[in-house]
Amino acid sequence: FLMVRGGGFDGGRLADTETSAIDIAPTILRHLGLLFDLPSGDMDGKPLVND
C-alpha cells in the first residue's frame, strides 16, 4: 500500500501490482529525478511508476 501526492501522478489511480517496501525508495527517487540506471545489485526493488 503506497499513497503518493504530487505532480506526475494521476489522482485516484489504483494499480493491481505486487509491491514490497523495497519498492518505495526507488519509486520516490524516480519521481524526484534522482534515480538513474544503477548497476545491478546497488538497490533492491524497482520503481512502481515508469516514465
Q: What is the pTM of this model?
A: 0.52
The pLDDT value given to residue 24:
81
Q: Among 38, 39, 48, which Cα is nearest to 13's? A: 48
Residue 50 grid cell: 515508469
Counting every residue, how long is the chain? 51
Q: pLDDT, tens digit, for every residue of 22-51?
A: 888 888 888 788 866 666 666 777 777 665
Top-confidence residue, 40 or 19: 19
The pLDDT value given to residue 44:
77
**Mean pLDDT value of segment 11-28:** 77
